[in-house]
Structure 1
Amino acid sequence: MKIILKQSKRYLAAIALFLLGSCSDNYLEQPALGALDDNVVANAQGVQKLLIGAYGALDGQQDADNALGGGGPWEAAPDNWVYGTVAGGEASKGSFGGDQPAIDQIVKFISNPTNGFYNTKWKALYEGVARCNNTLRLLGNVEDISDSERLNIEAQTRFLRGHYYFELKKMWNMVPWIDETTEDPKQPNNIDIWPMIEADFQFAYDNLPPTQSDFGRANKWAAGAYLGKTFLFQEKFPEARDILNTVTASGVNSGGVKYDLVPFFKDNFDAATENNAETVFDIQMVANDGTSTITNSNQGGKLNFPYNSPFRCCGFLQPSVDLMNSYKTEATTGLPYLDTYNQNPVKNDMGITASESFVPYTGSLDPRADWTIGRRGIPYHDWGNHPGIAWVREQSYGGPFAPKKNIYRQATQGIYADQSSWAPGTAINVHIIRFADVLLMAAEAEAQTGDLPAAMNYVNRVRERAANEDGFLKKYKDDSDPLAGFDEDQNAANYNIEPYTSTQFSSPENALKAIYFERKLELAMEGHRFFDLVRWGIAEETLNAYFDYQGNLTTDVRGGNFISGKNEYYPIPQAQIDLSVDETGAPTLIQNPNY
């Protein structure tokens, strides 16, 4: 059930604009100005609507036509497909070189502070901060609610503010802190805001109830998971271990269901089976909400469907050859090739026309590959076998593959797809944290603090779910008629995955290598990769090796170069620096190093 955002988002944008004032480019020059007197909204109903407005900013979309502030909606996409997935080497931008060329600059780390994508993302996140601050400021004047309801609202709001600032911190590192007590919003970015983010999540963890009336609202355990993630990003490994172990042992989702991995990996990426035991915190998406737009249907991902296909548009977010090769497993052990996965690559159809025959790869493979990556000759959910180059806009530029986790099913498209725009929307949620992520974060914390058996058990729990044979894709009975049905007796590929043994977890270094790789396999295409590489301190070596390998196969990343000491964080948007100029003519905001 997605009550908070399914029933409320239809009027959310109008409420947010009405109560919080219209948006401008200058988020630091003046506070959000209310169109109504505070006394009008300082009541139980008003503050709840303000809180819903704070939730509504999660999707990064302000109106039906574009993202907040006039940029394309993909510039502030909440799943960070540009900044986390493509920039992390999991996918090519896709389409062709002349389409959204600003993304090419970002993923090759040759962009500058004037790139408009950064400004759109910055504004979208600070809009969320502004909505949270307005909610907290007005909450103090509300008299017609109980103490418990007041505490619940405050804790939810601080959870959301923690999220928005977490996103800002991992994107730009040094960003200004503005809260409900700030009188002059033109604040410098010269302090580390981790302590404030940590305090918001700690307050939420201490004060949120374990369940909520609406599934989309944050609960105590979502706050605990996010607090653990905050510790992990700060390398506070003992603190991260303790809270993440508590969440894994005792946590329940907002509906009261104990956290667990759902039996089938694929069920996390189907609107019909989401909001399940694995849901820690999702951005709730909804199709066909009556607005005749896809603003609430993951508009930020509208480009990311196969080109010239039943989805109409637009050929972006093509999984990389490097990612596909990562899913190879050793035939005898069922384990991945941690260091040599790009040797003897998975066969693909690069350069093979649609009229030529093609037999897919028959080697040993992790089954998550085919729930993550669309490739020729393998069922593309229930749409038939992926036809290869016929659904690729420019194969030499972006490669042969298509994204899959974001793709709705043919059988249920009338419910979960939204065709109200020139590109489709979808009701598939955006995962901020799911339970598999929590398990792998807990594994990392355990390995960093010395308990390698515990770390291995967490990782193997994830791998054992991936090995559930009932969740494997099947070949179609009749390749000439892909809608004829599945052959239940034969898998679509030679799937082979096994748990790790103590041999691979014999040292912290070996354990961490396995954990890092498992995050790549499990969470691929979900926006985590770049930020993981940065916090692990291996972005330069990993991404430059990716550029060397992938650049020999596709033209999109040629010339890419990650520079340590610079590219760990994106440049502060020049537009925001210009707007931060004080009365002396000096900017309040300081640019990140080496830009």
Structure 2
Amino acid sequence: MKRFTNITRLAAVILATIGTLNSCKPDLESLNGPSTGTFPANAKEAEMGLFGAYQNISTLDAASTPIWHVMDNITDIGYARPGTNYTSPITSAVTTDNALANKPWQVHYQTIARCHTVLDNLERIKSSMTDDDYGQLDAELRFIRAYCYSQLIELYGDVPLLTHAVDLNNSSVPRTPKAEIEQFLLEELTQIADKLPVSQAQYGNVRASRVAAYMLKARVALYAKRYAEAAEAANTAITLSSGVYDLTDFNSTVSYAGKDHTVGEPDLSNIYGHAGFKTSKEWIWVAEYNQTIPGNTHNQQYYSASRLGKGVCYWGPTQDLINTFQCTDGLPITESPLYDASKPFEHRDPRLDMYCARPHARYVGYQFEPATSFATVKNYWPVITGQAAAPASVSNADATNAYRSFSGYLWRKPINLADYATTSVSGVSDLNVGIFRFAELLLIYAEAKIEANELDNTVYDAINRIRHRAQMPGLPTGLSQAQLRTALRYERKVELADDGLRWYDLRRWGIANKVMNGYIYLNRDAKAWTKEVLTGFDENYTPIYNHTEAIKYFTTQKVVYKENKDELWPVPKSEMDANKQLTQNPGY
């Protein structure tokens, strides 16, 4: 049974008491509890307000799936069930009222408002707190605010920078240049980082730590192309992580990678499952969910899983991602002698099977076969639960349902296998979701050093730690800056797949106009293919297709990216209507 912290419980109490904690002050103060007029009256209330801000971040979702497991599915590596909200972002058709594009603006500014409700009044209770407690509370609130702004500027560019609450009489605020906000964030994170404890593992890492603050600073600096600052901040975070945060080895199921359903099911629960979020040292910052709190759940597992596995196959990897995974000798599939197109999943980077579900594998207790030639498949749950010595046969809904996987593949990261023994078809889940992971921290450091052209052994060490955890060979030594950049982009593409960072990577690297124009390839019918579908990989580790040959086997989704438009999402129309000083992004 999962052990919950008190964060979401206390947040629910305070939010129920004082409503949404927005910046507008009511005329009458509550007679039964705190109101926005007196809040916070003491340190306990201030802490509860902090928890409310943390909880609000967890409300950022789409299709009942936390945003971190949505964003990659509107890129070249992931695909969503076709529909307005998810097809329009990859066809340059997002409108100003698109729900996916609107929600981050709304939720992040709600979260910022909750931070300000406490921050603006924190000074008046300072005398009742120790300096350390006051400094940490202040720092955590400012960290949350900084995270929200770091997301807003990447999605929308220039946005209003609010450092205090605004009331309705002063709610029209112009957009602040992105570069000015980046500078604000870097200075802010520098000021608060050392006021935070190195780790907050006792809270399940759902509260910000010093390592998280330096990691956020490193990410902001990296995205701003301020590589020296990014490398320095990332190095500080890595140094602080010694003995606290680290990569977590894959469990024994990594031995099933490259093998079929009869052997076993690859399982990530020691990292991405309930147990992993409780004990893995890999998680630096986590979004917490709790079924005992109304509204603090999601349907991520329901939307992710196969039809036989009580899911609706809403999201899945593309053929482009599947083809990207190297062979176990570290070579791309177009060059490795280990690659056999008739057995395309053998001798591949184990992360293919650890992070993705593909034909002939076992997934959520069933043989996964999208091909209609498999009329029946094996159900391993009687074996898993100890009710039988052999699997049962069942009709293959994963090949016949009209809403089976649209890409031919599914994600393993967002699920916890044990939940499928009991989860109803509604799929309500409180599996936590990771926001900052040690693997990303290592890659931030490596990328910053590569882009600064400081190609020392620490770059190899950072990348190779991740490759060795995946049982892949280390990089050859003596690589050029361009070669290391390609290696780094491979690692970010496969290691961080479905962590929600690919959308940002494509834009900050300036390659979205190439990668997201033309076609992405899918294999809904699980057809076999030949080597001739690929001619190689480019410098960004994007597969290059022989389109004429590829469409004999794969289906396609046409993708469109318009420069000077699709770098950003539109400012929501509702926000433009409410704030007359806002201007719209180009192209909308």
Q: TM-score, normalising length from structure 2?
A: 0.78
Counterpart selection for 1:407 from 405, 411, 415: 415
Counterpart selection for 1:240 from 213, 226, 230: 230
Contact 2:316-2:406 within 8 A present in 1 as well: yes
User: For the residues of structure 2 that align with 1:534 and 1:448, how far apart are their CA atoms?
Assistant: 16
Identical aligned residues as a percent: 23
Give the SS at the match of 1:92: strand
Contact 2:325-2:349 within 8 A present in 1 as well: yes
AA partner of residue 368 (structure 2): H
Tell me the residue number matched to 1:502: 477
CA RMSD of aligned residues (A): 3.1
* Distance 1:170-1:37 versus aligned 2 partners, 3 A rule: closer
Tell me the residue number matched to 1:269: 272
Tell me the residue number matched to 1:207: 195
* Distance 1:206-1:317 versus aligned 2 partners, 3 A rule: same
Tell me the residue number matched to 2:128: 144
Cα deviation, 1:102-142, whole Å, max 9, x if unaligned, reads 21112322212122322223211111111111121121221
Counterpart selection for 1:155 from 122, 131, 139: 139
1:92 aligned onto 2:79 = yes
* Distance 1:413-1:73 versus aligned 2 partners, 3 A rule: closer
Tell me the residue number matched to 1:314: 312
Tell me the residue number matched to 2:53: 54
1:327 aligned onto 2:333 = no
User: For the residues of structure 1 that align with 2:494 and 2:248, how far apart are their CA atoms?
Assistant: 17
User: For the residues of structure 1 that align with 2:461 and 2:436, how far apart are their CA atoms?
Assistant: 20
Contact 2:154-2:504 within 8 A present in 1 as well: yes
Contact 2:189-2:214 within 8 A present in 1 as well: yes
AA partner of residue 579 (structure 1): A
User: For the residues of structure 1 that align with 2:335 and 2:314, how far apart are their CA atoms?
Assistant: 25
Residue 7 (structure 1) shift: 2.9
| Deviates further, 129-138 or 47-56 | 129-138
Tell me the residue number matched to 2:110: 127
* Distance 1:429-1:341 versus aligned 2 partners, 3 A rule: farther
User: For the residues of structure 1 that align with 2:283 and 2:565, how far apart are their CA atoms?
Assistant: 35
* Distance 1:130-1:345 versus aligned 2 partners, 3 A rule: farther
Contact 2:442-2:463 within 8 A present in 1 as well: yes
User: For the residues of structure 1 that align with 2:190 and 2:468, how far apart are their CA atoms?
Assistant: 32
Alignment of 1:370-385 (within 5 A): 370-380=353-363, 383-385=365-367
User: For the residues of structure 1 that align with 2:318 and 2:232, how far apart are their CA atoms?
Assistant: 36
Residue 328 (structure 1) shift: 3.3
Tell me the residue number matched to 1:460: 464
Contact 1:281-1:431 within 8 A present in 2 as well: yes
* Distance 1:310-1:112 versus aligned 2 partners, 3 A rule: same
Give the SS at the match of 2:284: strand
* Distance 1:21-1:405 versus aligned 2 partners, 3 A rule: closer
1:590 aligned onto 2:580 = no
Tell me the residue number matched to 1:478: none
AA partner of residue 236 (structure 1): R
User: For the residues of structure 2 that align with 1:55 and 1:429, how far apart are their CA atoms?
Assistant: 13
User: For the residues of structure 1 that align with 2:104 and 2:337, how far apart are their CA atoms?
Assistant: 37
Residue 283 (structure 1) shift: 1.1
Give the SS at the match of 2:413: coil
Tell me the residue number matched to 1:473: none
Residue 372 (structure 1) shift: 1.1
* Distance 1:398-1:344 versus aligned 2 partners, 3 A rule: farther
Alignment of 1:26-425 (within 5 A): 31=24, 36-39=35-38, 41-60=40-59, 73-74=64-65, 77-79=66-68, 81=70, 84-94=71-81, 97=82, 100-142=83-125, 143-180=127-164, 182=166, 184-192=170-178, 193-212=181-200, 214-215=203-204, 216-251=206-241, 257-264=243-250, 266=268, 267-275=270-278, 276-286=280-290, 289-291=291-293, 295-299=295-299, 301=300, 304-311=303-310, 313-329=311-327, 333-336=329-332, 361=344, 363-380=346-363, 383-389=365-371, 390-391=397-398, 393-394=401-402, 398-410=406-418, 413=420, 419=424, 423-425=426-428
Q: TM-score, normalising length from structure 1?
A: 0.77
User: For the residues of structure 2 that align with 1:454 and 1:364, how far apart are their CA atoms?
Assistant: 29
Contact 2:157-2:177 within 8 A present in 1 as well: no
Contact 1:322-1:342 within 8 A present in 2 as well: no
* Distance 1:199-1:73 versus aligned 2 partners, 3 A rule: farther
| Deviates further, 179-188 or 230-239 | 179-188
Give the SS at the match of 2:57: helix
Contact 1:325-1:341 within 8 A present in 2 as well: no
Tell me the residue number matched to 2:524: none
Counterpart selection for 2:512 from 539, 542, 546: 539
Residue 363 (structure 1) shift: 4.0
AA partner of residue 529 (structure 1): R
Tell me the residue number matched to 2:499: 526
AA partner of residue 241 (structure 1): A
Contact 1:326-1:342 within 8 A present in 2 as well: no
* Distance 1:519-1:201 versus aligned 2 partners, 3 A rule: same
* Distance 1:135-1:554 versus aligned 2 partners, 3 A rule: farther
* Distance 1:274-1:14 versus aligned 2 partners, 3 A rule: closer
1:511 aligned onto 2:484 = yes
User: For the residues of structure 1 that align with 2:467 and 2:408, how far apart are their CA atoms?
Assistant: 27
Cα deviation, 1:533-568, whole Å, max 9, x if unaligned, reads 11111111122255376994766722x211222111
Contact 2:160-2:176 within 8 A present in 1 as well: yes
* Distance 1:17-1:575 versus aligned 2 partners, 3 A rule: farther
* Unpaired runs of at least 5, structure 2: 252-267, 372-396, 522-544
User: For the residues of structure 1 that align with 2:52 and 2:581, how far apart are their CA atoms?
Assistant: 29
Contact 2:36-2:117 within 8 A present in 1 as well: no
User: For the residues of structure 1 that align with 2:337 and 2:197, how far apart are their CA atoms?
Assistant: 50
Contact 1:210-1:221 within 8 A present in 2 as well: yes
AA partner of residue 378 (structure 1): A
